[in-house]
């Protein structure tokens, strides 16, 4: 089975956009499709070389949004490829990795620009300790690519808005593809073949989310634009989605927002929930009862609750359990769900920023590349 053709996405590019951020979110289906199609053979080749080295440990590093992609990478590399993996922020890499590396180690360095000083310093530190480096960067020809032993280039195209959107989902697509191919070398071919086929549906599922639910998301953003205390909760691979949601709200909307592992929130931060609070719950269907229970608790304290929920038969009955629901289509295995769950939340942050009178493309005090 091949990825959906470019013709499937023509509607995305016929609309005028007021901001680059919205345009770049709407370009995500095509960017994911290109990544799957154009990096497939390169990733297969890299996976074969990485598998032959039998690394004892994989360190994943990045900053900001790329760090969140790294957390997803840790989850899928551990779960699918059975690799011992640890994710460390690039700015902390030298402090957390031992001076003497006792084991054969690979560093997966993730960066949108490939030029951030933190990621470059981390990679140079790794190289001095004779650790191999696999770069995942949306910028071919960057400094990071020149320092790496292996290079994967997610095909997002140029991203002009400061908040990362399409670069994030293409980084996710790349790490999913890498994990699939490494799992193949581990001898899990029957299961992996199914996952490989499922991942091909990601572009169309993201497209469906953007086309079907955008107006609802816009209306909800208008309703909650004045909320300035937001907590986003997720679990498993969507712990990273919660962190990325909070980061987007901080960057784009000047909102105090924090992301937590869902049940970890009960260990202290729960004290902050009241009628001023907006809770965002990333709610996979296999955990929905847990999230309904959390929602009941938050609403009893006066908080409003938004759930991001897979659209399935009978899911309409869940609407009463939350104040608002952002639906996403079913079809992706849970391990790949961050690539679909983040999409409505990117739109939500964009529209909140616009309704607050802010320019989402150029948040004050922030730059695209931190040098």
What are 85-126's pLDDT values in tens digits? 999 999 999 999 988 776 799 999 999 999 999 999 999 999
Whole-angstrom Cα distance, residue 93 to residue 105? 14
DSSP classification of residue 9? G
Residues 143, 109: contact at Cβ < 8 Å? no
Beta-carbon contacts of residue 322 (< 8 Å; ≥ 6 apart): 281, 295, 305, 306, 307, 309
Phi and psi at residue 107, in whole multiples of 5°? -110, 125
pLDDT given for residue 319 in this prediction: 86
Query: b/e per residue, 102-117, with b = 16+ CB within 10 A?
Result: eeebbbbbbbbbbbbe
pLDDT given for residue 13 in this prediction: 47
Whole-angstrom Cα distance, residue 54 to residue 340? 32
**Structural domains in the chain plus CATH codes:** 6-200 (3.40.50.10490), 203-355 (3.40.50.10490)
**Rg for the chain, CA atoms, rounded:** 20
Whole-angstrom Cα distance, residue 79 to residue 81? 6
Whole-angstrom Cα distance, residue 357 to residue 368? 21
pLDDT given for residue 237 in this prediction: 97
Whole-angstrom Cα distance, residue 329 to residue 312? 8
Strands 57-62 and 105-111: parallel
Whole-prediction pTM: 0.94
pLDDT given for residue 318 in this prediction: 83
State which residues of the chain have pLDDT below 70.
1-15, 102, 188-190
Question: What angle (nearest 5°) sits at the alpha carbon of residue 154, between those of residues 149 and 157?
Answer: 125
Whole-angstrom Cα distance, residue 279 to residue 4? 35
Query: b/e per residue, 23-38, with b = 16+ CB within 10 A?
Result: bbbbbbbbbbbbbbbe
Q: Which of 328, 347, 320 is nearest to 285 (CA)?
A: 328
pLDDT given for residue 177 in this prediction: 98
Q: Is 330 helix (H, G, I), strand (E, B) or coil?
A: coil
Helix (H) / strand (E) element for 233: namely strand 229-234
CA torsion angle 189 47 206 111 (round to 10): 160
pLDDT given for residue 46 in this prediction: 98
285-291 long-range contacts (CB < 8 A, ≥24 apart) are 285/309, 285/310, 285/312, 285/315, 285/330, 286/334, 287/235, 287/262, 288/318, 290/262, 290/263, 291/262
Q: Is 95 helix (H, G, I), strand (E, B) or coil?
A: helix
pLDDT given for residue 186 in this prediction: 79
């Amino acid at each position: 089975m091949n990825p959906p053709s470019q013709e499937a996405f023509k509607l995305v590019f016929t609309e005028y956009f007021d901001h680059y951020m919205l345009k770049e979110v709407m370009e995500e289906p095509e960017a994911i499709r290109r990544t799957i199609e154009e990096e497939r053979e390169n990733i297969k080749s890299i996976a074969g070389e990485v598998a032959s080295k039998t690394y004892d440990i994989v360190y994943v590093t990045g900053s900001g949004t790329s760090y969140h992609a790294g957390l997803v990478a840790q989850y899928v590399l551990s779960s699918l490829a059975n690799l011992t993996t640890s994710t460390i922020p690039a700015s902390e890499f030298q402090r957390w990795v031992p001076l003497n590396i006792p084991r054969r180690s690979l560093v997966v360095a993730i960066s949108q620009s490939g030029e951030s000083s933190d990621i470059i310093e981390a990679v140079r530190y790794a190289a001095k300790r004779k650790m191999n480096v696999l770069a995942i960067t949306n910028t071919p020809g960057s400094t990071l690519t020149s320092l790496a032993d292996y290079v994967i280039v997610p095909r997002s195209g140029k991203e002009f808005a400061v908040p990362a959107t399409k670069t994030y989902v293409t980084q996710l697509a790349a790490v999913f593809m890498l994990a699939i191919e490494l799992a193949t070398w581990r001898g899990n071919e029957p299961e992996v073949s199914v996952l490989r086929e499922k991942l091909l549906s990601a572009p169309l599922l993201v497209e469906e989310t953007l086309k079907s639910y955008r107006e609802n998301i816009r209306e909800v953003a208008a309703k909650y634009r004045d909320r300035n205390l937001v907590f986003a909760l997720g679990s498993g691979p969507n712990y990273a989605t919660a962190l990325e949601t909070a980061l987007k709200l901080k960057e784009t909307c000047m909102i105090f927002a924090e992301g937590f592992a869902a049940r970890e929130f009960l260990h202290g931060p729960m004290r902050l929930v009241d009628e001023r609070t907006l809770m965002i719950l990333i709610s996979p269907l296999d955990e929905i009862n847990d999230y309904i229970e959390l929602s009941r608790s938050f609403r009893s304290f006066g908080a409003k609750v938004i759930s991001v929920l897979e659209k399935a038969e009978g899911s309409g009955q869940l609407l009463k359990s939350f104040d608002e629901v952002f639906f996403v289509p079913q079809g992706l295995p849970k391990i790949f769900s961050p690539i679909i769950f983040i999409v409505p939340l990117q739109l939500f942050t964009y529209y909140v920023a616009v309704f607050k009178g802010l320019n989402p493309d150029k948040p004050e005090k922030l730059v695209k590349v931190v040098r």
